[in-house]
Structure 1
Amino acid sequence: MDNTVVTLHGVNDLRMEKLPVPEVDRDEVLIRVTKVGLCGSDLCSVYKGTHGDLKIGLPCGMGHEAAGVVTKCGQDVTHVKPGDRVIIEPGTFCRKCELCLTGKHNVCANSSFHSSPRFYPGCLARYYKHKALLVFKLPDSVSDEEGAVVEPLAVAVHACRRAVVWAGCNVLVTGAGPIGLLCLSVAKALGATNILITDIKESRLTMAKQMGADHTLLATSGDAQSQAQQVQQIMGCQPDITMECSGTKAGLTLGIYVTKSGGKLVQVGVGPSEVTVPLTHAAVREVDILGVYRYVNCFPIAIDLLAKKLVDVKPLITHRFNFEEFQKAFDMFHSAEDGAVKCMISC
Structure 2
Amino acid sequence: MSATDTTTPVNEAAVLQPGGSFYYENREVPTIQSDRDVIVKVIATGLCGSDVHYWQHGRIGRYVVEKPLILGHESTGIVVSCGPNVQGLAAGDRVAMEPGAACNSCDFCRSGRYNLCRSMSFAATPPIDGTLCTYYRVPAECCFKLPDHISLRDGALVEPLSVAVHACRLAGDLQNRKAIVFGAGPVGLLCCAVARALGAATVVIVDIVTSRLEVATKHGATHTYQMSSESPEENAKALLEVAGLGDGADVVLDATGAEPCVNCGLHAVGPGGTFVQVGLGRPNVSIPLGQVCDKEVIVKGSFRYGPGDFSLAVGLLQANRVNLEGLVTNEYSFSQVEEAFKNVANRVGIKSVIYGPGVDAATANSI
- With normalisation by structure 1, the TM-score equals 0.95
Q: How does 1:225-236 map to 2 (within 5 A)?
A: 225-236=233-244
Q: Distance in 2 between matches of 1:59 and 1:165?
A: 44
The letter for the 2-side match of 1:262 is: G
Q: Distance in 1 between matches of 2:240 and 2:142?
A: 42
1:52 to partner: Cα distance = 5.5
8 Å contact kept, 1:58–1:116: no
**Structure 1 residues 230 and 195, CA gap change in structure 2 (3 angstroms):** same
Does 1:331 find its partner at 2:345? Answer: no
1:328 to partner: Cα distance = 1.2
1:53 to partner: Cα distance = 6.1
Quote the residue 1:41 is aligned against.
50
Q: Deviations over 1:229-281 (max 9, x none)?
A: 01110121211100001111111111111100100000000121111111132
Aligned equivalent of 1:247, options 249, 252, 257? 257
Aligned equivalent of 1:110, options 119, 122, 125? 119
Q: Across the two proteins, how many residue pairs are aligned to each other?
A: 344
Q: What SS is found at the alignment partner of 1:315?
A: coil
Aligned equivalent of 1:179, options 183, 187, 191? 187
Q: Deviations over 1:61-115 (max 9, x none)?
A: 2111111111111222222111111111102211111110111000111113235
Does 1:281 find its partner at 2:304? Answer: no
8 Å contact kept, 2:182–2:206: yes
8 Å contact kept, 1:215–1:235: yes
Q: Deviations over 1:282-333 (max 9, x none)?
A: 0221101101000012111111111111101121100111111111111111
8 Å contact kept, 2:124–2:131: no
Aligned equivalent of 1:302, options 310, 313, 317? 313
Gaps spanning 5+ residues in structure 1: where? none
Q: Distance in 1 between matches of 2:159 and 2:132?
A: 14
The letter for the 2-side match of 1:302 is: A
Does 1:14 find its partner at 2:25? Answer: no
Gaps spanning 5+ residues in structure 2: where? 1-8, 357-367
Aligned equivalent of 1:316, options 321, 327, 337? 327
Q: Distance in 2 between matches of 1:217 and 1:51?
A: 31
Q: CA-atom RMSD, angstroms?
A: 1.5
Aligned equivalent of 1:78, options 87, 91, 99? 87
Quote the residue 2:75 is aligned against.
66
Runs of 4+ residues deviating >6 angstroms: none
Q: Deviations over 1:194-224 (max 9, x none)?
A: 1111111111111112323111111131010
- With normalisation by structure 2, the TM-score equals 0.90
8 Å contact kept, 2:206–2:226: yes
Does 1:161 find its partner at 2:172? Answer: no
Q: Distance in 1 between matches of 2:232 and 2:98?
A: 36
Does 1:223 find its partner at 2:223? Answer: no
1:57 to partner: Cα distance = 5.1
Q: Distance in 2 between matches of 1:318 and 1:40?
A: 16
Q: Distance in 1 between matches of 2:28 and 2:177?
A: 52
